[in-house]
A and B are shown apart, each in its own frame.
Chain A
Amino acid sequence: MVNFIWLFLLLVGIVMAAFCGRIEAVSAAIWQVAEQGIALTLEIAGIMMLWMGLLRLAEKSGFTNFLARLTRPVVGLLFPDLAKDSPALGAIVMNISANLLGLGNAATPFGLKAMDDLQKLNKRPEEASNSMITFLVLNTSAITLIPATVIALRAKSGSLFPEEIVGITIFSGLIGTVVGLLAHFLFCRFRRWR
């Protein structure tokens, strides 16, 4: 699937550009990606090292375990395949907390660590496990209490009430999360029937 989508984006982009006379823009974009890649690498490496360093402290001290135990009634429901004391739960809870607090750049390192832990429990290492998909739904549907980026952007462009969209944003995100989890559940059921 991802191979198809990747090729589709390239093909449609380049053919369209050729027909619309924007082929120079595409050439420019290609070199821009190379430059962007280096800048992004340095930024990501820095963020990763900071948060993964901190995460190691949180794990070794038992802080993540404590958080995991605290949130087990809810998080355990979402991840029925994981054992009660699974180390993956710690990283998952840290990731969810970072998302809730609007700390986007901390959420990614915690999320990657959680994926690493989930992969260790995965029986088919080339295939996504149910827990992984649940975890990704939680991440892609933006569960947050503070859409900080948008509020800042609205304030900057002169809004009279930059925060007036907060409630609606949280609810819309929540609906996405619930629908996504429901769809995931139905997909799993459907596959079992076949």
Chain B
Amino acid sequence: MANFFMQLSRYAIPAIFLIIPLYAWFKKVPVYESFVEGAKEGLFVTLRILPYLMGMLLAIGIFRAAGAFDLISNILAPLTSKIGLPSEVVPLAFMRPLSGTGALAMTADILSTYGPDSFIGRLASVIQGSTDTTFYIITVYFGSVGIRRYRHALTVGLIADAASMIAAFCFCYLYFS
């Protein structure tokens, strides 16, 4: 099953780049000109989101370099160890909504230190896979269209992340320990 999906993922991109232009050609769309037109818009969108990206990269980069994530997990360690949550995964839980590259580096580090088939390794894998960089997505998506009042978007996004992570912990606990 998993293998089927991996194969699907491998063929998906070339297939999409074949099917859509071919379909458009049958529908008598000027394929090349339309592609260029869309690409031009893509360039403008990039320019529009860049300043927001830089702002977030700066704040998160500084927060990371200062070692703030380690501090958070040190403070929470006595609490997390009580419920059987390995303290090594706690910084990942905080990094995940903030920085995609940061979280990926942390997961890679956990997998190579504790092994991918250990409880910690499995839990880190599930957390990495079942959540996304909420903070970053929200600020960039809203920034791109000039939304300034997010209302409850961030709260709801973080609630969803927390729910995914709690579910990840419970499932891993049930199946792997």
Residues of chain A whose beta carbon lies under 8 Å from any beta carbon of chain B: 1-2, 5-6, 9-10, 12-14, 16-17, 20, 22, 25-26, 28-30, 32-33, 36-37, 40-41, 44-45, 48-58, 60-63, 101-103, 106, 109, 111-113, 115-116, 118-119, 125-128, 132-133, 136-137, 139-142, 144-151, 153-154, 157-166, 168-173, 175-180, 183-184, 187
B76 within 8 A of A: no
10 new A-B contacts, CB < 8 A, other than A118-B145, A136-B153, A141-B161, are A29-B62, A52-B41, A54-B20, A60-B24, A115-B141, A137-B156, A140-B97, A159-B116, A172-B127, A183-B156
Chain A residues with Cβ under 8 A from B148's Cβ?
A: 126-127
Q: Would B129 and A149 count as touching, CB distance under 8 A?
A: yes
Smallest beta-carbon distance A6→chain B, Å: 5
Chain A to chain B contacts (Cβ below 8 Å), 18 pairs: A2-B154, A17-B65, A25-B65, A29-B62, A49-B40, A60-B27, A61-B27, A112-B141, A113-B45, A126-B147, A133-B152, A140-B133, A149-B129, A164-B122, A168-B175, A169-B168, A170-B130, A171-B167
Chain B residues with Cβ under 8 A from A127's Cβ?
A: 147-149, 151
Given the contacts A37-B53, A44-B46, A166-B2, A26 and B62 also touching, CB distance less than 8 Å: yes
Chain A residues with Cβ under 8 A from B12's Cβ?
A: 101-103
| Bound CA span A30–B55, Å | 11
Which among B31, B36, B39, B49 has the highest number of chain A CB atoms within 10 Å? B39
Which among B53, B66, B139 is the interface contact of A22 at CB below 8 angstroms?
A: B66
B9 within 8 A of A: yes
Majority secondary structure of chain B interface residues (helix, strand, loop or mixed): helix
Q: Would A16 and B71 count as touching, CB distance under 8 A?
A: yes
Q: Would A2 and B139 count as touching, CB distance under 8 A?
A: yes
Smallest beta-carbon distance A86→chain B, Å: 16
Please give me the 5 A-B residue pairs with the lowest Cβ-Cβ distance, nearest first: A56-B38, A180-B160, A176-B164, A52-B42, A147-B129
| Bound CA span A164–B117, Å | 9
Smallest CB-CB separation from B160: which chain A residue? A180
Which among A48, A139, A177 is the interface contact of B46 at CB below 8 angstroms?
A: A48
Smallest CB-CB separation from A45: which chain B residue? B46
Q: Would A53 and B39 count as touching, CB distance under 8 A?
A: yes
| Bound CA span A127–B145, Å | 10
Smallest beta-carbon distance B1→chain A, Å: 8
